[in-house]
Structure 1
Amino acid sequence: MLSLYFEPAESPLGWEVPTVVDATGLTGPLLEYVVALGSTAHDRRSHALTVLWDLLLPVPVAAIPSILPDDAQTRAVALAIRANPADGRSLARWGRDVGSSARTLSRRFRSETGVSFESWRTFERLNAALPLLADGLPVSRVAREVGYLTSSAFIAAFRRELGTTPAAYFNGTSATSTD
Protein backbone atom coordinates (compact mmCIF):
# COMPACT_ATOMS: atom_id res chain seq x y z
CA MET A 1 0.00 0.00 0.00
CA LEU A 2 1.18 3.48 -0.83
CA SER A 3 -0.46 6.58 0.58
CA LEU A 4 -0.16 9.98 -1.05
CA TYR A 5 -1.89 13.14 -0.02
CA PHE A 6 -2.68 15.92 -2.47
CA GLU A 7 -4.25 19.24 -1.69
CA PRO A 8 -7.79 19.15 -3.13
CA ALA A 9 -6.99 22.32 -5.11
CA GLU A 10 -4.00 20.54 -6.71
CA SER A 11 -6.20 17.80 -8.19
CA PRO A 12 -8.62 18.35 -11.07
CA LEU A 13 -10.66 15.35 -9.85
CA GLY A 14 -12.66 17.30 -7.29
CA TRP A 15 -12.14 14.74 -4.52
CA GLU A 16 -12.27 16.50 -1.18
CA VAL A 17 -12.02 13.44 1.06
CA PRO A 18 -9.42 10.67 1.18
CA THR A 19 -10.13 8.24 -1.64
CA VAL A 20 -8.81 4.71 -2.14
CA VAL A 21 -7.69 4.11 -5.71
CA ASP A 22 -6.76 1.13 -7.83
CA ALA A 23 -2.97 1.12 -8.03
CA THR A 24 -2.59 -1.72 -10.51
CA GLY A 25 -1.09 -1.34 -13.95
CA LEU A 26 0.72 1.95 -14.53
CA THR A 27 -0.87 3.75 -11.57
CA GLY A 28 1.29 2.18 -8.81
CA PRO A 29 4.65 2.81 -10.49
CA LEU A 30 3.53 6.30 -11.49
CA LEU A 31 2.60 7.09 -7.88
CA GLU A 32 6.03 5.89 -6.78
CA TYR A 33 7.62 8.05 -9.48
CA VAL A 34 5.75 11.14 -8.24
CA VAL A 35 6.94 10.43 -4.70
CA ALA A 36 10.54 9.98 -5.88
CA LEU A 37 10.41 13.30 -7.76
CA GLY A 38 9.42 15.19 -4.66
CA SER A 39 8.92 18.88 -5.22
CA THR A 40 12.24 19.64 -6.91
CA ALA A 41 11.48 18.63 -10.50
CA HIS A 42 8.44 20.81 -11.06
CA ASP A 43 8.01 20.23 -14.83
CA ARG A 44 8.47 16.46 -14.63
CA ARG A 45 6.14 16.28 -11.63
CA SER A 46 3.52 18.33 -13.45
CA HIS A 47 3.66 16.02 -16.49
CA ALA A 48 3.48 12.90 -14.31
CA LEU A 49 0.51 14.29 -12.39
CA THR A 50 -1.33 15.05 -15.63
CA VAL A 51 -1.09 11.37 -16.58
CA LEU A 52 -1.86 10.26 -13.02
CA TRP A 53 -5.13 12.21 -12.86
CA ASP A 54 -6.29 10.33 -15.97
CA LEU A 55 -5.44 6.95 -14.46
CA LEU A 56 -6.87 7.27 -10.96
CA LEU A 57 -9.97 5.18 -10.44
CA PRO A 58 -11.67 5.07 -7.04
CA VAL A 59 -12.41 1.63 -5.64
CA PRO A 60 -15.22 0.77 -3.25
CA VAL A 61 -14.09 0.32 0.33
CA ALA A 62 -16.04 -1.58 2.92
CA ALA A 63 -16.75 0.35 6.06
CA ILE A 64 -16.79 -1.92 9.06
CA PRO A 65 -17.70 0.01 12.19
CA SER A 66 -15.18 -0.21 14.96
CA ILE A 67 -16.10 2.07 17.82
CA LEU A 68 -14.23 1.58 21.08
CA PRO A 69 -16.34 1.79 24.25
CA ASP A 70 -15.53 4.46 26.84
CA ASP A 71 -16.15 2.42 30.00
CA ALA A 72 -12.79 1.17 31.34
CA GLN A 73 -13.79 -2.49 31.79
CA THR A 74 -15.57 -2.71 28.47
CA ARG A 75 -12.74 -0.91 26.73
CA ALA A 76 -10.24 -3.36 28.23
CA VAL A 77 -12.19 -6.23 26.66
CA ALA A 78 -12.42 -4.40 23.32
CA LEU A 79 -8.69 -3.62 23.23
CA ALA A 80 -7.80 -7.21 24.11
CA ILE A 81 -10.00 -8.48 21.26
CA ARG A 82 -8.53 -5.91 18.90
CA ALA A 83 -5.03 -7.14 19.84
CA ASN A 84 -6.08 -10.79 19.40
CA PRO A 85 -9.29 -11.19 17.40
CA ALA A 86 -8.97 -14.98 17.62
CA ASP A 87 -9.55 -14.82 21.40
CA GLY A 88 -12.81 -16.72 21.78
CA ARG A 89 -13.56 -16.00 25.42
CA SER A 90 -17.25 -15.74 26.22
CA LEU A 91 -18.70 -12.54 27.62
CA ALA A 92 -19.06 -14.29 31.00
CA ARG A 93 -15.36 -15.18 30.96
CA TRP A 94 -14.42 -11.65 29.93
CA GLY A 95 -16.56 -10.37 32.79
CA ARG A 96 -14.66 -12.50 35.30
CA ASP A 97 -11.35 -11.36 33.81
CA VAL A 98 -12.14 -7.63 34.05
CA GLY A 99 -14.25 -7.69 37.22
CA SER A 100 -17.68 -7.15 35.72
CA SER A 101 -20.75 -9.20 34.96
CA ALA A 102 -21.50 -10.49 31.49
CA ARG A 103 -24.82 -8.64 31.60
CA THR A 104 -23.13 -5.32 32.43
CA LEU A 105 -20.54 -5.78 29.66
CA SER A 106 -23.28 -6.72 27.21
CA ARG A 107 -25.31 -3.63 28.09
CA ARG A 108 -22.24 -1.38 27.84
CA PHE A 109 -21.14 -2.79 24.48
CA ARG A 110 -24.59 -2.10 23.05
CA SER A 111 -24.96 1.38 24.56
CA GLU A 112 -21.41 2.56 23.82
CA THR A 113 -20.79 0.99 20.41
CA GLY A 114 -24.32 0.67 19.07
CA VAL A 115 -23.99 -3.08 18.52
CA SER A 116 -23.96 -6.26 20.58
CA PHE A 117 -20.73 -7.75 21.87
CA GLU A 118 -20.88 -10.56 19.30
CA SER A 119 -21.43 -8.12 16.42
CA TRP A 120 -18.58 -5.94 17.65
CA ARG A 121 -16.27 -8.96 17.85
CA THR A 122 -17.30 -9.99 14.31
CA PHE A 123 -16.46 -6.49 13.04
CA GLU A 124 -13.05 -6.64 14.70
CA ARG A 125 -12.36 -10.06 13.23
CA LEU A 126 -13.29 -8.85 9.76
CA ASN A 127 -11.16 -5.73 10.17
CA ALA A 128 -8.23 -7.97 11.10
CA ALA A 129 -8.96 -10.31 8.18
CA LEU A 130 -9.04 -7.71 5.40
CA PRO A 131 -5.30 -6.95 5.34
CA LEU A 132 -4.45 -10.65 5.57
CA LEU A 133 -6.71 -11.43 2.62
CA ALA A 134 -5.28 -8.48 0.70
CA ASP A 135 -1.82 -9.97 1.25
CA GLY A 136 -3.01 -13.12 -0.51
CA LEU A 137 -3.23 -15.47 2.47
CA PRO A 138 -5.59 -18.40 1.93
CA VAL A 139 -9.10 -17.94 3.32
CA SER A 140 -8.73 -21.03 5.53
CA ARG A 141 -5.62 -19.59 7.22
CA VAL A 142 -7.17 -16.13 7.63
CA ALA A 143 -10.29 -17.69 9.13
CA ARG A 144 -8.21 -19.49 11.77
CA GLU A 145 -6.03 -16.45 12.50
CA VAL A 146 -9.02 -14.24 13.26
CA GLY A 147 -10.90 -16.78 15.37
CA TYR A 148 -13.19 -18.80 13.13
CA LEU A 149 -13.23 -22.57 13.51
CA THR A 150 -14.10 -23.13 9.85
CA SER A 151 -13.63 -21.31 6.57
CA SER A 152 -17.35 -21.55 5.90
CA ALA A 153 -18.21 -19.75 9.14
CA PHE A 154 -15.76 -17.01 8.22
CA ILE A 155 -17.09 -16.72 4.65
CA ALA A 156 -20.67 -16.59 5.97
CA ALA A 157 -19.78 -13.74 8.37
CA PHE A 158 -17.86 -11.93 5.61
CA ARG A 159 -20.81 -12.25 3.22
CA ARG A 160 -23.32 -11.18 5.88
CA GLU A 161 -21.39 -8.00 6.75
CA LEU A 162 -19.82 -7.08 3.39
CA GLY A 163 -22.38 -8.51 1.00
CA THR A 164 -19.98 -10.76 -0.89
CA THR A 165 -17.40 -13.49 -0.41
CA PRO A 166 -13.73 -12.73 0.31
CA ALA A 167 -12.73 -13.93 -3.18
CA ALA A 168 -15.32 -11.76 -4.88
CA TYR A 169 -14.43 -8.76 -2.72
CA PHE A 170 -10.79 -8.87 -3.76
CA ASN A 171 -11.49 -9.78 -7.38
CA GLY A 172 -14.10 -7.05 -7.79
CA THR A 173 -16.77 -9.54 -8.86
CA SER A 174 -20.06 -10.61 -7.39
CA ALA A 175 -19.27 -14.32 -7.22
CA THR A 176 -21.17 -16.43 -4.79
CA SER A 177 -18.69 -19.26 -4.41
CA THR A 178 -17.32 -20.24 -1.04
CA ASP A 179 -13.66 -20.69 -1.95
Structure 2
Amino acid sequence: MAKKKKETAIGSGRKLIAQNKKARHDYEILDTYECGLVLTGTEVKSLRQGRASLVDGFGQLDGGEVWLHNVHIPEYAQGTWTNHAARRKRKLLLHRAEIDKLVGKVQESGLTLVPLALYFTNGKVKVELAVARGKREYDKRQTLREKQDTREAERAMSAARRRQRA
Protein backbone atom coordinates (compact mmCIF):
# COMPACT_ATOMS: atom_id res chain seq x y z
CA MET A 1 0.00 0.00 0.00
CA ALA A 2 2.71 2.50 0.97
CA LYS A 3 4.52 1.97 -2.32
CA LYS A 4 1.41 2.74 -4.36
CA LYS A 5 0.80 6.00 -2.46
CA LYS A 6 4.37 7.08 -3.13
CA GLU A 7 4.01 6.40 -6.87
CA THR A 8 0.80 8.42 -7.13
CA ALA A 9 2.38 11.31 -5.22
CA ILE A 10 5.31 11.39 -7.63
CA GLY A 11 3.13 10.95 -10.73
CA SER A 12 0.76 13.78 -9.84
CA GLY A 13 3.54 16.35 -9.29
CA ARG A 14 2.34 19.17 -11.55
CA LYS A 15 2.60 22.57 -9.88
CA LEU A 16 1.47 25.49 -12.04
CA ILE A 17 3.76 28.53 -12.04
CA ALA A 18 2.23 30.76 -14.72
CA GLN A 19 -0.51 30.50 -17.32
CA ASN A 20 -1.17 32.48 -20.49
CA LYS A 21 -4.97 32.82 -20.40
CA LYS A 22 -5.00 35.48 -23.10
CA ALA A 23 -3.41 33.07 -25.61
CA ARG A 24 -6.54 30.91 -25.74
CA HIS A 25 -8.57 34.04 -26.42
CA ASP A 26 -6.25 35.49 -29.09
CA TYR A 27 -5.24 32.26 -30.85
CA GLU A 28 -6.83 29.10 -32.18
CA ILE A 29 -4.79 26.28 -30.62
CA LEU A 30 -3.98 23.56 -33.16
CA ASP A 31 -1.45 21.37 -31.34
CA THR A 32 0.41 21.38 -28.00
CA TYR A 33 3.84 20.11 -26.92
CA GLU A 34 5.41 19.69 -23.48
CA CYS A 35 8.95 21.08 -23.56
CA GLY A 36 11.78 21.23 -21.08
CA LEU A 37 13.71 24.46 -20.51
CA VAL A 38 17.41 25.20 -20.16
CA LEU A 39 17.57 27.47 -17.09
CA THR A 40 20.14 28.86 -14.69
CA GLY A 41 19.96 28.27 -10.94
CA THR A 42 18.60 31.73 -10.09
CA GLU A 43 15.84 31.32 -12.68
CA VAL A 44 14.68 28.08 -11.06
CA LYS A 45 14.74 29.69 -7.61
CA SER A 46 12.68 32.61 -8.89
CA LEU A 47 10.19 30.17 -10.48
CA ARG A 48 9.90 28.25 -7.21
CA GLN A 49 8.62 31.49 -5.70
CA GLY A 50 5.88 31.43 -8.38
CA ARG A 51 7.09 34.48 -10.26
CA ALA A 52 6.84 34.47 -14.07
CA SER A 53 4.86 36.00 -16.91
CA LEU A 54 4.11 34.40 -20.29
CA VAL A 55 2.06 37.29 -21.72
CA ASP A 56 4.47 38.48 -24.43
CA GLY A 57 6.22 35.14 -24.92
CA PHE A 58 6.64 33.31 -28.21
CA GLY A 59 8.66 30.42 -29.60
CA GLN A 60 11.03 30.66 -32.54
CA LEU A 61 12.92 28.10 -34.61
CA ASP A 62 16.56 28.98 -35.16
CA GLY A 63 19.18 26.67 -36.59
CA GLY A 64 17.32 23.45 -35.86
CA GLU A 65 16.60 24.48 -32.26
CA VAL A 66 13.54 25.98 -30.59
CA TRP A 67 13.96 29.13 -28.47
CA LEU A 68 11.55 30.84 -26.11
CA HIS A 69 11.59 34.64 -26.30
CA ASN A 70 10.13 37.42 -24.09
CA VAL A 71 9.10 35.21 -21.17
CA HIS A 72 9.63 37.30 -18.04
CA ILE A 73 11.25 35.49 -15.13
CA PRO A 74 12.20 38.22 -12.62
CA GLU A 75 15.62 38.28 -11.02
CA TYR A 76 16.02 36.23 -7.85
CA ALA A 77 15.90 38.59 -4.83
CA GLN A 78 18.75 36.84 -2.99
CA GLY A 79 20.84 36.48 -6.16
CA THR A 80 24.28 38.02 -6.51
CA TRP A 81 26.24 39.10 -9.56
CA THR A 82 25.37 35.67 -11.06
CA ASN A 83 21.71 36.68 -11.44
CA HIS A 84 20.05 36.22 -14.84
CA ALA A 85 18.54 38.71 -17.28
CA ALA A 86 14.75 38.78 -16.85
CA ARG A 87 13.78 38.50 -20.54
CA ARG A 88 16.63 36.51 -22.06
CA LYS A 89 15.93 33.90 -24.74
CA ARG A 90 15.82 30.36 -23.39
CA LYS A 91 16.41 27.10 -25.22
CA LEU A 92 13.54 24.58 -25.29
CA LEU A 93 14.25 20.86 -25.05
CA LEU A 94 12.36 18.73 -27.57
CA HIS A 95 12.99 15.50 -29.42
CA ARG A 96 14.35 15.86 -32.95
CA ALA A 97 11.15 14.40 -34.47
CA GLU A 98 9.06 17.00 -32.61
CA ILE A 99 11.30 19.82 -33.81
CA ASP A 100 10.99 18.57 -37.40
CA LYS A 101 7.17 18.55 -37.06
CA LEU A 102 7.27 22.10 -35.70
CA VAL A 103 9.44 23.27 -38.60
CA GLY A 104 6.86 21.94 -41.06
CA LYS A 105 3.92 23.50 -39.22
CA VAL A 106 5.45 26.91 -38.54
CA GLN A 107 6.47 27.34 -42.17
CA GLU A 108 2.75 27.32 -43.03
CA SER A 109 1.42 30.85 -43.27
CA GLY A 110 -0.10 32.37 -40.16
CA LEU A 111 1.09 29.78 -37.61
CA THR A 112 3.12 30.67 -34.53
CA LEU A 113 4.46 29.07 -31.35
CA VAL A 114 2.82 30.36 -28.16
CA PRO A 115 3.59 29.30 -24.56
CA LEU A 116 0.38 28.36 -22.71
CA ALA A 117 1.65 27.31 -19.27
CA LEU A 118 4.81 27.10 -17.22
CA TYR A 119 4.87 24.43 -14.49
CA PHE A 120 6.94 22.02 -12.42
CA THR A 121 6.65 18.30 -13.13
CA ASN A 122 8.56 16.09 -10.69
CA GLY A 123 10.94 18.93 -9.89
CA LYS A 124 11.63 19.88 -13.52
CA VAL A 125 10.37 23.06 -15.20
CA LYS A 126 8.21 22.42 -18.27
CA VAL A 127 6.50 24.68 -20.78
CA GLU A 128 3.31 23.81 -22.63
CA LEU A 129 3.99 25.16 -26.12
CA ALA A 130 1.17 25.47 -28.67
CA VAL A 131 1.14 25.72 -32.43
CA ALA A 132 -1.50 28.39 -32.94
CA ARG A 133 -3.21 30.53 -35.57
CA GLY A 134 -4.21 34.09 -34.72
CA LYS A 135 -7.93 34.82 -34.44
CA ARG A 136 -9.62 37.79 -36.03
CA GLU A 137 -11.92 40.10 -34.06
CA TYR A 138 -15.12 38.44 -35.29
CA ASP A 139 -13.73 35.00 -34.35
CA LYS A 140 -13.05 36.24 -30.81
CA ARG A 141 -16.58 37.67 -30.51
CA GLN A 142 -18.10 34.44 -31.83
CA THR A 143 -16.10 32.36 -29.33
CA LEU A 144 -17.25 34.57 -26.44
CA ARG A 145 -20.85 34.37 -27.65
CA GLU A 146 -20.71 30.56 -27.86
CA LYS A 147 -19.20 30.35 -24.36
CA GLN A 148 -21.92 32.63 -23.00
CA ASP A 149 -24.67 30.61 -24.73
CA THR A 150 -23.42 27.31 -23.31
CA ARG A 151 -23.16 28.88 -19.84
CA GLU A 152 -26.76 30.12 -20.05
CA ALA A 153 -27.96 26.73 -21.29
CA GLU A 154 -26.20 24.99 -18.37
CA ARG A 155 -27.81 27.40 -15.90
CA ALA A 156 -31.26 26.83 -17.38
CA MET A 157 -30.84 23.04 -17.29
CA SER A 158 -29.62 23.04 -13.67
CA ALA A 159 -32.50 25.31 -12.65
CA ALA A 160 -34.98 22.96 -14.36
CA ARG A 161 -33.42 19.98 -12.56
CA ARG A 162 -33.71 21.79 -9.22
CA ARG A 163 -37.39 22.56 -9.84
CA GLN A 164 -38.02 18.96 -10.89
CA ARG A 165 -36.49 17.60 -7.64
CA ALA A 166 -38.53 19.96 -5.45
* TM-score, scaled relative to structure 2: 0.22
Bigger relative contact order (CA 8 A; separation at least 6): 2
Decide which structure has greater strand share.
2
* Structure with the bigger percentage of helix: 1
Under a length normalisation based on structure 1, what TM-score does the superposition of the two structures give? 0.21
